[in-house]
A and B are shown apart, each in its own frame.
Chain A
Amino acid sequence: GAVVSQHPSWVICKSGTSVKIECRSLDFQATTMFWYRQFPKQSLMLMATSNEGSKATYEQGVEKDKFLINHASLTLSTLTVTSAHPEDSSFYICSAPLNEQYFGPGTRLTVT
């Protein structure tokens, strides 16, 4: 099946700093990628749709100026959490659709 990678797999940062998470489709091109966030013992919540060559589409309640998404190429989307705070600590997962949605392994962000 198709493979999606994420980098880093985990990151710890200090409050107020920015963190960039990369999502790559390794063996297929993805004009669309999705970014999810999952808090402990909760389900996946869609944050935004990343569109290659155009602006991302954010779900209601997600601050687009805080969660910057850039779909730089057909295989790479990045999510930057700006001015991170402890409440942004979460598991961030990307997916890329082909015939189904293929999920990356996730990035665990801890903000201290």
Chain B
Amino acid sequence: QKEVEQNSGPLSVPEGAIASLNCTYSDRGSQSFFWYRQYSGKSPELIMSIYSNGDKEDGRFTAQLNKASQYVSLLIRDSQPSDSATYLCAGGGAFSGGYNKLIFGAGTRLAVHP
């Protein structure tokens, strides 16, 4: 069973701090990884994608991938109350219909308090 594991949280950080979200995966064949943000009652929205070992930065967000350790992380700098949401880590799995199926972790709830 291919799995993506996340700490469910909640992770509570003060406004302006760095939030660090972590994820491990079991399928060594996964080549693509994604972080989605999901507000309560809404569908997920893509925050970052990462395919290579190392860091990838986009604004206040940095994704990190370590394939040897099967570990993906997301750093959110200068956290804002509007960042409070559930963050889903997903790994690209087997192909279906020509596209990678996504395997989602259970999500980490982030709460940014003023």
Contact = CB atoms under 8 A, between A and B. Distances in A.
Contacts of B98: 31-32
B102 interface: yes
B97 A104 contact: no
A32 B96 contact: yes
Interface string B62-104: 0000000000000000000000000010000000111101111
B52 to A, nearest CB: 16
Contacts of A93: 43-44
Nearest to B32: A100
The interface residues of chain A, by DSSP majority, are classed as strand
A51 B97 contact: yes
B104 A43 contact: yes
A101 B102 contact: yes
A105 B41 CA distance: 9
A67 interface: no
Contacts of B11: none
A108 B40 CA distance: 12
B97 A106 contact: no
Contacts of A50: 97
Interface of B: 34, 41-46, 49, 88, 96-99, 101-107
16 contacts: A31-B97, A32-B98, A43-B104, A43-B105, A44-B44, A44-B102, A44-B104, A46-B102, A46-B103, A49-B96, A57-B97, A93-B44, A100-B34, A100-B46, A105-B43, A106-B43
